[in-house]
Amino acid sequence: MPDLTKAYRILCVQPHPDDTDIAFGATVALLAGRGVEVFYVSVTDDAAGLSGEDAALPYEERVELRRREQRAAARRLGVTDVIELGFPDAGNWSAYDARNAIIDVIRSVRPDTLLTIDPWMKYEAHGDHRRTGLAAAEAAILHDFPAIGDRAAPVDTPQHTNKLERVGFFFTDNPNLVLDAEAGMERKHLALADHASQWDESTYRELVEYDRWRCERYGQSIGARYAEALLLVPVAWLHIFPDLVTISRSQP
């Protein structure tokens, strides 16, 4: 089974700028604090999900506002860089085009670990989430094929020889890895507050309350106060391997 503690360059592919922070932000802060390079890829511009007066801003101003908020939250968690693909939030964009864009990012950043949203999570109704997870998972298994994608695969150089070894899915109902996240929870919730256009004060309090409840439930399974969870698997398991969940959850 893959070991997340051995990761040194992680690419987090998310539908919207706040998704990784909500699902896995405390662990991102802890990993970054240990010297792991963490890169965010936001697939959509998140211009449709603003609340209050911000929702009435012109499109370009909404995009720029979300960009500023995302980068503030990323700095708080220690994220190395943020990459924006700019697909329209809740729009009619193609998972195929997103896959090729993500392949280009993988070839450029050269992560050893890719984290994304679980597109097979039961009852997930948001198309941005389903398409992003599928596009990222397919990019993980196809990025090594030079004929696939919008650009030719770069030639390996001594400083870029790391290989994508593991894929982790957050917002999953089939986790196989639970990590103690207590030391990063305060920074996580401060980062969520940086996404101020997404919620009013009441909604923010409800989000934090729900997050604590969810992380407490994960924590109970490992004897921690708070924890976050992933379904973490080798890249090769993402193709013609129907036993993925059964075997991955049976491993120590």
The helix, strand and coil proportions of the chain, stated in percent and rounded to the nearest 5, come to 50, 15, 35
**How confident is residue 166, by pLDDT bands cut at 50, 70 and 90?**
very high
Check pLDDT > 80 for residue 243. yes
CA distance 219 to 238: 28
Residue 203 CB coordination number (10 Å): 11
158 has pLDDT over 50: no
Number of domains in the chain: 1
The per-residue DSSP string of 174-195 comes to S--EEEE-GGGHHHHHHHHHH-
Is the pLDDT reported for residue 160 higher than 80?
no
Q: Whole domain around residue 145: which residue ranges?
A: 4-250
The CATH code of the domain that includes 90 is 3.40.50.10320
pTM score, two decimals? 0.95
Measured over the CA atoms of residue 224, residue 72, residue 130 and residue 212, the dihedral's sign is: positive
CA distance 125 to 106: 27
Per-residue pLDDT tens over the stretch 200-222: 999 999 999 999 999 999 999 99
Q: What is the pLDDT of residues 19-48, one digit of tens each?
A: 999 999 999 999 999 999 999 999 999 999
The percent of residues in the chain predicted with pLDDT above 90, rounded, is: 89
- pLDDT tens per residue, range 97-139: 999 999 999 999 999 999 999 999 999 999 999 999 999 999 9
* pLDDT at res. 156: 54
Report how far apart, in Å, the C-alpha atoms of 162 and of each of 107, 166, 167, 170, 209 are.
11, 12, 14, 23, 39
